[in-house]
Amino acid sequence: MHIIVGGTGHVGSATARSLLRRGEPVTIVTHHREHAADLAAEGAQVAVADIHDVPALRDILRSGTSAFLLNPPAEPSTDTDAVERANAAAIAAAVEGSGLRKVVAASTYGARPGTPCGDLTVLFEFEEALRARLGRVAVNRAAYYMSNWTGMLDAVAASGKLPSFFPADYALPMVAPEDLGEAAARRLIDADDEPAIRYVEGPRRYTAGEVAAAMAEALGKRVKVDVVPREQWTAAFRQMGFSERAAITYTCMTGTVLDESDRWPADPVRGATTLEAYIRAAVQRWQEAKEASKNR
């Protein structure tokens, strides 16, 4: 049995579906059973638990032989570093004594020790906490999620502008959640997989300008990149509803992505989903949801 912690989000659900397509048994850990209804319909078992309830989470992990562990992202209106550190600590504590034979942990490009910088340091600490308890952990560090762009479809469709913290011509490692799920599923079922750090991104690197072009094609309207100047990043995050602490955290992460391209891997695991295909499918789902909402 494969246990998926964080199984109802973009990457966790993609991992579950990749395993289910292979006929593998899957248990989704969720705080709300209804959030996993689609996956249950596809054959997954569902276990309801608060990840901060360490004994309950450990009991669920004991029902499996392997696990995909994703530290759930905090709401940006909170102190995201504090919330995500607490999440990570609880998951790592639950792993101890669980008897799991294999763990694949979700992490991020740029994960590193040092001065706090959001997920870059939180997820590095998560990796280390899991290794301290298990000794052997397979880590998948993900590139920038393509889904980060499609969360802005309402605003883009209304204004014809795509807000970007990156220059329009800056080529960025990006990856579709589906490809991250496929990469995690392969590692979970591969008996010969070594517990190393792997980097996962899409077929090639893409720019904000290419994101805008893909959205324009899918929406059937012109879309222009609206670059947010660096000195305005923190204020922009605040205007988006981020807490003061979260705005500072996300400013740090964004700056690191922009400034440390020389640290990106030369030979990542490459997924098959192109940016254009991902945007096209996301826009179609968005349009279908809007149409369904009108007909209610």
Domain positions in the chain: 2-143+176-202+262-273
**CA–CA separation, 28 vs 9, rounded Å?**
11
Tokens of 64: 């499996």
Question: H or E stretch including 16?
Answer: helix 10-21
pLDDT at 193 over 90: no
Report d(CA 49, CA 41) in Å as an integer.
19
Residue 93, pLDDT above cutoff 80: yes
pTM of the model: 0.92
User: In whole numbers, what is the pLDDT of the chain averaged over residues?
Assistant: 93
pLDDT at position 289 is 85
| Angle, CA of 42, 218 and 241, to the nearest 5° | 75
CATH of domain 2-143+176-202+262-273: 3.40.50.720
Q: What are the tens digits of pLDDT across the range 202-232?
A: 999 999 999 999 999 999 999 999 999 999 9
> Which pLDDT value is given to residue 199?
96
Tell me if 22 sits within 8 A of 189, measured CB to CB. Answer: yes
* Neighbouring C-alpha atoms within 13 Å toward the C-beta of 136: 8
Kindly tell me the sign of the dihedral angle through the C-alpha atoms of 154, 155, 160, 166: negative
